[in-house]
Structure 1
Amino acid sequence: MKEFVWAVSIICILLVFGVVLLKYLSENKKYKNSSYGKQSQKSFWKIISNQGARGEYRTSQIIDKAPFKNKMLFNCYIPNRSGDKTEIDMIMLCQKGIYVIENKNYSGWIFGNEKSKNWCETLKGKKYFFYNPIKQNRTTV
């Protein structure tokens, strides 16, 4: 009886591993065929293990499904007013105009307004402050 339980346990573990591997390979292929994956020099594993990059990829997936024709540029470095370089997460070019997108991959409750220097993420009773993304975008151009 012990041998049977042992064999069933091994089979279940192999099945779970196989399903996880197939899901990973499927998502990896989807990533490589996406606009973000074609431009990124990062592996799929680096994308899913980095909160910021994962958020950018998810946003790009939504934009890729948009009913209008567009061209996306990701992680562009441009000179700013002070002469330094600044990163723009996403630039979308389409018939309606040029859109600059600052992507944040936060959860919980987000508090802030256009004039606030910092916004606050409240998650599980803890507060985390981050620079206002509207002001961040204004400093890039």
Structure 2
Amino acid sequence: MQSTRDAMKDNDLSKEREAYFARERRTTANLILGGWAVSAITYALNPGLAEVTSINAITWPLICLFFRYFDVRSSGRVKAVTSGLKGESYVHSLLSRISRDMVVINQVFLPNDKSRTGHTELDFILIGRKALYVVETKNNSGRIKASEHDREWDVVHPSKKRYRMRNPVKQVLIQKAVLKRCLRKHGMGNVIIQPVVAFSSPNAKVHGADGVTVPIFTRPMNDLIQRIINYERALHSRPHLDHGALQKVLAQLAEEAKRNAKPFDKNKG
């Protein structure tokens, strides 16, 4: 969990991107070691296959490297990771400029026993003077058809490719409920939480947002800044939030989420 009043720097994006490549390198290394282990076991069980196992031990790493490189580069995941991080950086910078009296926290993990992973991740929490704002960021491009109750939304990419994305409104409402439940356990159940969805891509065009109860914003998002300012003004009679206490509780919740993390099985559900 990171907290700062300044925008994320380019080196932060580089670190995130390098972390992605580090995970890919570990995966490749594990595949190579697994292949060598199979060759060693084969040789131990049948020494007569020494020549075959030697060839396998040499060619297997080359095969792994080739296919992992092709998989990572050709799938577009590197571009997607970098693009998503830049989108989060844009939103982070925007939220940081609203007021020096507010605190921006990104990548917030909350314990959630109902989740298959044991936790729920929030892109951003903005601690305002009067309320908390949970911001779910999306970097999808193209024409997006919004609907509050649909499980997925239809997207037409600028390249004319059609696909469906998870409903971010449902996501952020779940995040709000989890955060509310966690804060209630720490005696902060009266804190107001406002969910927000922000599309960071300059090419995102959301249709149907007027029929959704959660506010949805696209770039340049000046209306997002004004919405938060107006919301804070409307809550002028409420007491100021204790930023220090909230940050302490969120840090404790992040540690609890880390301890309660469960291995995620894609084959379930």
TM-score normalized with structure 1 length? 0.64
Percent identity among equivalent residues?
26
Which stretch of the first structure deviates more once superposed, 116-125 or 44-53? 44-53
Could you tell me which of 163, 166, 184 is aligned with 1:131?
A: 166
Amino acid at match of 2:142: G
Asked whether 1:103 is paired with 2:130, we answer no
Q: Which consecutive residues of structure 2, in runs of 5 or more, have no partner in the other structure?
A: 19-78, 179-269
Query: Contact 1:36/1:74 (CA < 8 Å) preserved in 2?
Result: no
Aligned residues: 108
Q: Is the 8 A contact 1:122 1:128 kept in 2?
A: yes
Q: Does 1:62 align with 2:94?
A: yes
Change in Cα spacing, 1:108 to 1:75, as seen in structure 2 (3 Å) is: same
Matched residue type, 1:74: N
1:34 is the counterpart of 2:10: no
Cα deviation 1:60-110 (Å, max 9, x = unaligned): 111122146210110011112515111100000011310001100111111
* Structure with higher RCO (Cα < 8 A, 6+ apart): 2
CA contact (8 A) 2:148 2:169 kept: yes
Q: RMSD over aligned Cα, in angstroms?
A: 2.9
Aligned partner letter, 1:76: V
* Structure 2 CA distance for aligned equivalents of residues 135 and 68 of structure 1: 30
CA distance in 2, matches of 1:46, 1:34: 20
Counterpart for residue 82 of structure 1: 114
Question: What secondary structure does 2:91 align onto?
Answer: helix
Give SS of 2:122's match: strand
In structure 2, what is the Cα distance between the partners aligned to 1:89 and 1:57?
Answer: 11
Higher-Rg structure is: 2
Alpha-carbon distance, 1:35 to partner: 4.3
Gaps of 5+ in 1: 1-32
What is the Cα deviation at residue 121 of structure 1?
A: 1.8
Is the 8 Å Cα contact of residues 80 and 139 (structure 1) preserved in structure 2?
no
Q: Secondary structure at the match of 2:107?
A: strand
Code of the residue aligned with 1:55 in structure 2: it is: G
Amino acid corresponding to residue 91 of structure 1 in structure 2:
I
Judged with a 3 Å threshold, the aligned counterparts in structure 2 of structure 1 residues 67 and 76 are, in CA distance, closer, same or farther, namely closer
2:14 to 13, 19, 43: 43
Question: Does the CA contact (< 8 Å) of 1:35 and 1:72 recur in 2?
Answer: no
The structure with more strand, counted as a fraction of residues: 1
Which residue does the alignment assign to 2:240?
none
Residue type of the partner of 1:54? K
Greater helix fraction, Structure 1 or Structure 2: 2
Which stretches of structure 1, 4 residues or longer, exceed 2 Å deviation after superposition?
33-37, 40-49
